Amino acid sequence: MKDLIVIGAGPIGLACGIEAKKNKLDYLILDKGMLVNSLYNYPQNMTFFSTSDRLEIGEIPFISHNPKPTRAEALEYYRRVTAAWELNVKLYEGVDRFEKTTDGFIVHTRKGSYPTKNIVMATGFYDLPYLLNVEGEDLPKVSHYYKEPHPYFGMDIVVVGAANSAVDVALETYRKGAKSVSLIIREKEIGKRVKYWARPDIVNRIEEGSIRAFFEAELKEIKPSSVVISSANETLEIANDFVLAMTGYQPDFTLLESLGVAFQPDEYKTPVYNESTMESNQEGVYLAGVVCGGLKTNKWFIENSRVHAPQIINALIEKLN
């Protein structure tokens, strides 16, 4: 019988494991994918908005060679943290279901079953993209994920979105030789929350005509060699080889719902939890990290949700004692 099982081996899940180990609790971290799976799926050349010191966990310094750390540096750092703390992590072992018992829970995975007194849900939100729900979205030319610019050299690219990921993709594919780059943006302008060093860059590229931007526009249809766009009371069809839909991602609430976790009656489907202990409405089920924000995935980051780990472990110690 474990004291706790953490679902999710992202930075916050690892932080929960570290706090558990520091306090001599019997714990296990499970993840259906690789270590810090969401960070791995970021674009290869991505730069964090946060400085390295705000991404640190477990009192291990995060040394970056840049003012803002890169994806590669973050992956190396969290590997080093996991190894240094000798964390009890089982990767590529997704949870199939939970079973409630008189003593707590049994967590059933593809590979085994683990009894535990408590569960900490530290799942991310990178697995379910927001779909465009337009005809042709299932064509091979459409992707909701972006890794690197090389495949798009010499191609006509359409990028959907106006936040950081869309801006990064548009700028990088343009600079690495895309034949043309067009941005499809619902709003009247580039998002105000775009990284301060990237926003002037994309605005200037749009103003000079290097990157085309269709504001207050929607992608209506995706065809094998073109796309149909509705903008400014007119419909346009432009040549296109690839569509990169950088429309964001949403958490998978399936596991939370199976545990009986309740949600606030708001538009963001915010889970119910105690802000002091991070315990949900279900006794023994705790929430940590981005999952606490529901559909509002820009509320919690590594830097402001690291505190969830000591909050949870302190509450658990008080309960176990």
> What gap in Å lies between CA 284 and CA 273, rounded to an integer?
11
Cα separations in angstroms, 27 against 19, 114, 132, 286, 316: 10, 11, 40, 14, 12
Residues 196 and 289 in one domain: no
Query: Are 13 and 116 contained in the same domain?
Result: yes
Report the alpha-carbon distance of residue 305 to residue 57 in Å, rounded: 11
Three-state secondary-structure class, residue 267: coil
Between the CA of residue 28 and those of 8, 25, 92, 135, what are the distances in Å? 10, 10, 14, 44
Same domain, 115 and 145: no
Q: What is the pTM of this model?
A: 0.88
Give the span between the Cα atoms of 187 and 185, in whole angstroms: 6
Residue 194, SS3? coil
**Domain that includes residue 85, residue range:** 4-128+249-320
CATH of the domain at 240: 3.50.50.60
Number of domains in the chain: 2
User: Residue 162's pLDDT is what?
Assistant: 87
**The domain boundary residue, chosen from 245, 269, 285:** 245
Residues 241 and 151 occupy one common structural domain: yes
**Sheet (strand 113-116) strand order:** 95-100, 105-109, 113-116
pLDDT (tens, 9 = 90+) of the chain, 321 residues, equals: 999 999 999 999 999 999 999 999 999 999 999 999 989 988 888 888 889 999 999 999 999 988 899 999 999 999 999 999 999 999 999 999 999 999 999 999 999 999 999 999 999 777 788 899 999 999 999 999 999 999 999 999 999 998 888 999 999 999 999 999 999 999 998 988 888 888 999 999 999 999 999 999 999 999 999 999 998 778 999 999 999 999 888 888 899 999 999 999 988 889 999 999 999 999 999 999 999 998 887 788 899 999 999 999 999 999 888
List the structure tokens of 189. 């302008």
Last residue of a domain, one of 245, 260, 290: 245
Please give the angle made by the CA atoms of 39, 59 and 35, to the nearest 5 degrees. 25
Question: What tokens appear for 139 in the block?
Answer: 């064509």
The beta strand positions in 202-308, using DSSP E, are 212-214, 217-223, 226-231, 234-239, 242-245, 249-250, 285-287
Cα(101)–Cα(8) distance, rounded to whole angstroms? 22
pLDDT in tens, 80-107: 999 999 999 999 999 999 999 999 999 9
User: Which residue, 192, 213, 245, sits at the end of a domain?
Assistant: 245
Closest CA to 118 of 106, 130, 136, 132: 106
For residues 77 and 143, membership in a common domain is answered with no
Tokens standing for residue 155: 């191609």
Do 196 and 208 lie in one domain? The reply is: yes
Q: Which residue has the tokens 């943290």?
A: 81
C-alpha dihedral over 299, 304, 307, 312, to 10 degrees?
10
- Residue 47 sits in the same domain as residue 163: no
Instruction: Find all residues with CB under 8 Å of 117, minimum gap 6, and list them.
Output: 1, 2, 3, 4, 103, 104, 105, 284, 320
